[in-house]
Structure 1
């Protein structure tokens, strides 16, 4: 019997499209995410949309702000599960693990933002909880930031390091095309 793999789409909210979010990599990530979402929907495989709800007043992700809404092309269907979180890790205080376990789902494919924050945190926990975990490198993106020593790092450097942290230890990193191609086997 084929094992079900849930697609987990992290924080693809309108606030991530704001120039105030900073310099990012993978400008085609939304297209890769949309194509992956369409493949999951066509296969009638489980989809989970994760939305960040900030605890910081004034944040674009504060309840009631336009930034908290899902991006138009990535909005959930009524039959798709929505998880709201207020920390980077989508498993913490959300019931996501229970939702997956009740359905017998043992494998997850993660896309979204940001690679070094919510994607990495969620993938680490998924791997630690024993889920077979995949991360799509071109369906995730990061923002430029300085490292601990104050050295400015490009969004691509931040992204690459986060993927390196995950590869082989917590997850298997694939492209979205590889992930979609393997959907029938996942």
Structure 2
């Protein structure tokens, strides 16, 4: 399968503050997620496909709070002049932003999601995108999440959380594939 028209790449919350593992509960899976996202970003730029940098404005004491270095997008995927940056205050890139309107204005129907974290903003954005009728693709090796504590204090390893989040999205809100499967579709 190939896309009929250029899909939009959403780079979600790939910010410096997400390197503060202690704040987010310790361990993280997929240490190469940003490298994979950067490779996809390179391809999108080369093809001049639409792309959107999504940036989370966390509330203090979040490492993503505006004004702190943690709010900055990581250098590996830093926006270039003219690229759209949307700032959000919630988990979904659609709430409190004009993302949906920008996509509609450009006639975009296919979305490719990469970034952080699978259990939070990537998942929330994918669910909303699916509900809004977009053909949504979550790239498994270009996303990552952190260890998570359950309500009873049970610890869940990041890789398990990541796989379960992807499984709950797949075929319901999005199609989950890896980068190697995506590239031939472009």
TM-score, with length taken from structure 1: 0.94
Deviations for 1:85-143, whole angstroms, at most 9, x for unmatched residues? Answer: 01100000101000100000011000000001000000000000000000000100010
- Which one of 21, 38, 41 corresponds to residue 34 of structure 1? 38
Partner of 1:23 in structure 2? 27
Distance of 2:105 and 2:115 partners within structure 1: 24
Aligned length: 182
**Which string of whole-angstrom CA distances, capped at 9 and with x for unpartnered residues, describes residues 11-56 of structure 1?**
00111122333210001111111111111111110010000001x2
| 1:168 is aligned to 2:152 | no
Q: Which segments of 5 or more consecutive residues in structure 1 lack a partner in the other structure?
A: none
Q: Which structure 2 residue ranges, 5 or more long, are not aligned?
A: none
Measure the CA separation in 1 of the matches of 2:9 and 2:37.
10
1:148 is matched with 151
Worse-matched range after superposition: 15-24 or 66-75: 15-24
Aligned to 2:5: 3
SS at match of 2:120: helix
Structure 2 residue 75 is matched with structure 1 residue 95: no
- Partner secondary structure for residue 116 of structure 1: helix
- Aligned position for 2:60: 57
On the 8 A contact 2:35/2:76 being kept in 1, the answer is no
Question: Are 1:130 and 2:142 counterparts?
Answer: no
Q: Which residue of 1 aligns with 2:109?
A: 106
RMSD: 1.3
Aligned to 1:12: 14
